[in-house]
Structure 1
Amino acid sequence: MNTPLQKKFLTEKEVFAIYGLGIPWLRKARLTGGGPVFSKIGRNVRYSVEAIEAFLKAGESRSTSDYARRG
């Protein structure tokens, strides 16, 4: 059931609960790069659903040799 107002930004706890990306990994990726795009709203870090799904989509491979060619 779709509601008129669907949540578009997630906390790191919600990202972990829904997508399985660990909180320590998310925090490290914010410092070093290479993780999903995030937004800062005051002191709060938020991830858009679209950014998380784009990040996961970009990491898809059909085989381990596909992954090796990207690196």
Structure 2
Amino acid sequence: MKAILEFELPEDKENFDASTKGMDWALLVWHIDQFIRNKIKYEQDRDGVLQLVRNELNFQMEEKGLKYPE
């Protein structure tokens, strides 16, 4: 089975980026899920956990060259 995606660049750059980085997004979400799980399971001090999660999300996005759609 083959799939051919065509984009009119630069007009469709956002759609192109979303299509080509789908697996990166899936892995990012899995990583964040594991990060949250470990924080809940092993951290006694839960203050600031949401900020930790947000920081980790931004770090992982930067590492993978991902950004939120504009």
Q: Same fold (TM over 0.5)?
A: no
Q: Which protein has greater RCO, CA pairs closer than 8 Å, 6+ apart?
A: 2
Greater radius of gyration (CA): 2
Give the TM-score taking structure 1 as reference length: 0.30
Counting strand residues as a fraction of each chain, which structure ranks higher?
Answer: 1
Give the TM-score taking structure 2 as reference length: 0.31
